[in-house]
Amino acid sequence: MKPRPLAAAVTTIALVAAGLTVNTGTAVAHGKGYSALIQRASYGVPHITARDFASLGYGVGYAQAEDNVCLIAEQMVTVNAQRSRWFGADTRNVSSDLFHQKAIDTQAAERWLVGPRDGVRSPSNEVRDQIRGFVAGYNAYLKTEKTTDPACKGKDWVRQITEMDMWRANWARMVRASSGALADGIVAAAPPGGTATKASAPQAEVVVKAADGAPAGVGSNAYGLGRDATASGAGMLLANPHFPWDGGERFYRMHLKVPGRYDVEGAALVGDPIVEIGHNGRVAWSHTVSTARRFVWHRLALVPGDPTSYLYDGQPRKMTSRTVTVQTPAGPVSRTFYDTHFGPVVVVPGSFDWTAQAAYAITDVNAANNRALDGWLAMGRAKSVGELRSVLDRRQFLPWVNVIAADRDGRALYADHSVVPRVTDALAAACIPAPFQPLYASSGQAVLDGSRSSCELGRDRDAAVPGILGPANLPLLIRKDYVTNSNDSYWLANPARPLEGYPRIIGNERTERSLRTRLGLHQVRQRLAGTDGLPGKRFTTGRLWDVTFGNRAYGGELVRDDLVKLCEAQPSATASDGTTVDLTAACAALRGWDLKVDLGSRGAHLFTEFVLAGGLRFADQFDPAAPLTTPNRLAVDDPRVRTALADAVRKLAGIPLDARLGDVQTEPRGAERVPIHGGRHEAGVFNMIIGVFEPGVGYPKIRHGSSFVMAVELGRHGPSGRQILTYSQSANPNSPWYADQTRLYSGKGWDTIKFTQKQLRADPNLVTYRVGERRR
């Protein structure tokens, strides 16, 4: 039967405009329809209550469409291989379309839905209901024709979506650090003498950097604080993911509740129906991008005279070829893909070439990861760190992230229980050919001998599925004091208990840590020792917030004084282009810098550009016995240090070297330029912000960095604390929630945790409405 909208379904914007608050009680789900209660709190954050998961999904789909319909619509264009049709047939769009059309033709998402609906072998009925409800809610919003976002208002590419669209989008999320990161190389793969498309394969260095867990630039910080680290003795969590400020990988804040079954506040990526970082009444968790690999290479020994056949245990096997066609404004574009029983053939010019003798295929262990939505649903129901660990062990669903968590009883957990190919030390020693052993040792990229069945990934007895490392082979730590991660490996989640002895494919051990990792650990240790300049010892949520946005530049703390001495002793230097540069103003700016990246910090941008130019070079070596303090001395005798400073001065021509950071680093919101604090990972800044440089101007647009930030305490009377979404809830410039949290972030402000009805009803801006539809 045709769905009929409920008469009570209205938009928040209309309610706000009318100055109305409609209190309608708990949502009632119809047996053959949907109904959800949406309570919009300050900053437009929806608190959605429904009787079942289908209606909950409906509320999420409706609310997200109200705020970000264009972002979701564009995701659907992408996963349906139609970017060239709607956004232009440039090389990037054609390559994306061919990659996604192949996934459609091979029914990659459809195959996810086959099997027992236990949440491991196939998505559960609850998750399927959420997807179905999300689709219905999103489509119901489109029917209101109230879209005001100029990015897609009235555009033909905005359409009703299907459940399969959602599953395709979820599949794309899972493979973003594996097949997705190598999509251009999969599209470009052709046998010697074959015809390639305009799609260009990635260079080797791009593969090495981008496949460390997620595309380059995506990262995060997280603290899990146990009873020995907090003033109250309750567990506490810092969530600080670093993600893009624009596009479909923005976070969206929401609180979802099915009474008696699910109650979680936090955030998810736009277009996802369930909270991915957040807390319930007893447990809080966050994610950081893991260093583990998500795919392995297989070197194929090709049959002489037939570059599309390979030898396996001495017998020839024919590759499978499939021609895929996509539509563009200039006409159809076709491409033939090649697959092996391992997975697709990939080319990386100069490193993984397809020659007459050899080719390379990958096994993507996330391509079959249909467990993630059920996994996050189960995480939201965990009542302790111990229960959370059981969820991780049984489901093994995290695609490319670590988990950091804390519970009400004051226990903190770190785990890299992500989906990792089963490359044990024994398999690596026996099956990675000698020329590729250095690559594995340095980067964790495994190139296995594809000619032997003994070099297949196999199965760990405790693994959820074949081909991945089981829980016993994955790092995990539970503490009463703290755990942290800032995108280095698991090794120093807590320096008092280093995690060692795990397969190299997960990460490195006893190696130099990033300055951001070191600062993150120093901040915790100094807070517990009471030496950070803040009152008292241990953490409250307020102190946790202050530490997070303390905006220290650890690289500057280490080398600024020596750099200034060097600069003043030799106040001119030769830039890399041979130009002689006067450093007098640079010396003065650095001397006056407060070693922070606050809005009022003068000269911070100069130090940032010095670092990016390659100037942060150390004279001493890393010492694994002192990993938090080495290296630490500027290499003042290295001429590249002064060259980098000269290059930084030249790059900043037209911009005062002693300018306030808030005057040169901003985020546009309409005609307004919102000053933005924070800085680069490379400079050792914890609160990572990366702006787009414009000569003579500075950084007038933020590309990515701190996004959803949450400091939550799991107290006896319920969760409390602070949270913010730095770029605000909506990407729509006509939304009232387009800039409010961005201004709030600029002033280091916050919104409060609103988990209980008491907390929610205390919000003076609360607006309540119901959405739903029933069938005749």
Using alpha carbons, select from 170, 188, 181 the residue that is nearest to residue 212.
181
Cα distance between residue 26 and residue 534, in whole Å: 43
pLDDT at 7: 31
How many C-beta neighbours within 10 Å does residue 756 have? 16
pLDDT of residue 492: 98
Cα–Cα distance, 687 to 597 (Å, whole number): 9
Token pair for 741: 């949290």
Judge contact between 678 and 597, C-beta under 8 A.
yes
According to the model, what pLDDT value does residue 219 have?
80
At 450, list the tokens. Answer: 């594809």
Report the residue count for the chain. 776
Residue written as tokens 């024709």? Answer: 145
HSE-CB of 531 using CA atoms within 13 angstroms: 6
Residue 408 DSSP symbol: T
pLDDT at 5: 36
pLDDT of residue 31: 57
344 is written with which tokens?
């697709």
pLDDT in tens, 382-429: 999 999 999 999 999 999 999 999 999 999 999 999 999 999 999 999
What does the DSSP assignment read for 252-268?
A: EEEEEEETTTEEEEEEE
Q: Where are the beta strands (DSSP E) in 187-294?
A: 219-225, 236-244, 251-258, 262-269, 277-279, 283-289
Q: In 19-112, which residue ranges form alpha helices assigned H by DSSP?
A: 53-79, 83-87, 91-105
Annotated active-site residue 220? The verdict is yes
pTM of the model: 0.94
Q: State the catalytic residue, choosing from 124, 220, 706, 746.
A: 220
Q: Are 124 and 112 in contact (CB under 8 A)?
A: no
Q: For helices 163-174 and 53-79, what crossing angle results, to 10°?
A: 70
- What residue ranges of the chain have pLDDT lower than 70? 1-31, 194-218, 775-776
